[in-house]
Amino acid sequence: MRKLLFIIPLLGLLVACNSKPAGELVGQSNSKVNETSPYGMVWIRGGAFMMGANDQDAFWSFKGESKMVSVDGFWMDQTEVTNTEYRQFVVWVRDSIARQLLANVSPEKWRQKKDTAKLNWKRPLPWKKTWEKASGEEDAHADSLWNSLKNYNNKFEGLNYVYRWYDLEQAAREYNKFDRAHGHYPNSSFAIVDEYYFDGGVIKMRTKRISPVHSTEDFYMTKIINVYPDKLAFCTDFTYSYNDPTVKYFTLRSYDQYPVVGVTWEQAKAFCAWRTNYYNSNHLFQGQDYRLPTEAEWEWAARGGKQQSMYPWGGPYIRDGKGCYLANFKPMRGNYRADGEVRTAKVATYPPNGFGLYDMAGNVSEWTESSFMSINANGTHDLNPSFAYNAKEKDSDILKRKIIKGGSWKDVAAYLQCGARTFEYQTESRSYIGFRCVKSTNLKKKSAMKNF
């Protein structure tokens, strides 16, 4: 009898859970998924703040007028992307190209019998100084493979990362609106795409092409970016200055935890795309993409939750109560050593701001998603303001300017202010510019508004 009394309510509960809506509008919920905290990132709560300079404009026309704006919450890298993190990207691209070349070998070319075994993509490739020793035999294909990835000056020009992205900006334009009445796109619709021309695996020319739109597939853009950093960035940026040892800045293990430099805006974007694809390939739940922050997001994060703060640490001074400098910059004329570092410093050397972010002032300037115009504040919306233009190869140089923020190890204190802004061209790499990633989120619960 007791068992019966237990079974009857249980059956009723099961029937209730599996019952149909009986003709009522009850809504359709998606399966419950939990968004995990991205590794190495901290939560930046949303808020409203006065965007723009809080002090005298040190950059004249570079300044945008102050404006009250609101931004949503997002995740942000706690530190700038380091050499070791970016090297993971470079190695992944190198291995993917090598595996593709290995898989495409024709038996006739190397006079080998056809091998029906599948290529093991998870097995590490024997990247050694002497390939023959690592593989156990002399392999002409290995030599050909290695030579196809680097040229005579040891610059890996063949390390190209190919990725696709959906151009929402072009898809949302009025002349590209889908004609629902007739079931096709207007004859006047078009998309501007990049074209690449190769010679021996090396990009020789890039141009743009106007393509008619027939489906949503036409708004997918393909990018082919060489991912290897500019090892000569320090030598190029500072003439009549001995910087030869910095050529190995990216490769030496002693610089693993230093911010990566010598990367263009386009390389930083490619890193974000790779990071997204790499994460999604290892997780069932595919959340928001990794990307560069907008100028508004970066500035809000730099202020650390403080209003009208001149610097990320809140106060108007560049020293703490003990007289120690609070960032890595150029504190005195000709004296780079006064703050403890000559060039870049290891990430997280100086104290974090109110959000737990390190090096939001100094060390290296950081790329943002935003395009540079002197009227950014007045020309954008006050909710999640963003002004971004995806410049094509043949566009004017003025359209390729991207905002950089934060100041660097070579800059005076004025560049370290939260509202300070300057620019660099998206195809240029500098020894004082790095980047960090952000990731939007759909979490709205109070528990998500904390740093994990």
172 and 62 in one domain?
Answer: no
Flag whether pLDDT at 415 surpasses 80: yes
| pLDDT single digits (tens) 269-288 | 999 999 999 999 888 777 89
CB atoms within 10 A of CB 175: 11
Kindly state whether residue 262 falls inside one of the protein's structural domains: no
Q: For residue 227, report the phi and psi dihedrals to the nearest 5 degrees.
A: -100, -10
- Name the domain boundary from 226, 241, 269: 226
* pLDDT for the residue 113: 57
* pLDDT for the residue 158: 75
Flag whether pLDDT at 134 surpasses 50: no
Q: Who has greater pLDDT, 5 or 162?
A: 162
Strands, E, within 309-427: which ranges?
365-371, 401-405, 422-425
Share of the chain above pLDDT 90, in %: 47
Kindly state whether residue 130 falls inside one of the protein's structural domains: no
Least confident stretch, 131-140, 146-155, 290-299, 435-444:
131-140
Kindly state whether residue 67 falls inside one of the protein's structural domains: yes
Q: How many domains does the chain have?
A: 2
Decide: helix, strand or coil at residue 422: strand
Q: Which domain holds residue 212?
A: 160-226
| pLDDT single digits (tens) 8-50 | 556 555 555 555 667 888 887 766 666 778 999 999 999 999 9
* pLDDT for the residue 112: 56
- Name the domain boundary from 174, 193, 226: 226
Kindly state whether residue 327 falls inside one of the protein's structural domains: yes
439 and 314 in one domain?
Answer: yes
* pLDDT for the residue 66: 83
53 and 169 in one domain?
Answer: no
Flag whether pLDDT at 107 surpasses 90: no
439 and 308 in one domain?
Answer: yes
420 and 341 in one domain?
Answer: yes
Kindly state whether residue 145 falls inside one of the protein's structural domains: no
Cα end-to-end distance, the chain, whole Å:
51
Answer for the pair 52, 374: CB distance below 8 angstroms, yes or no. no
Q: Who has greater pLDDT, 221 or 445?
A: 221
Answer for the pair 433, 406: CB distance below 8 angstroms, yes or no. no
Q: Can you say how many angstroms the Cα of residue 383 is from the centroid of all Cα atoms in its chain?
A: 22
The mean pLDDT value of the chain amounts to 81
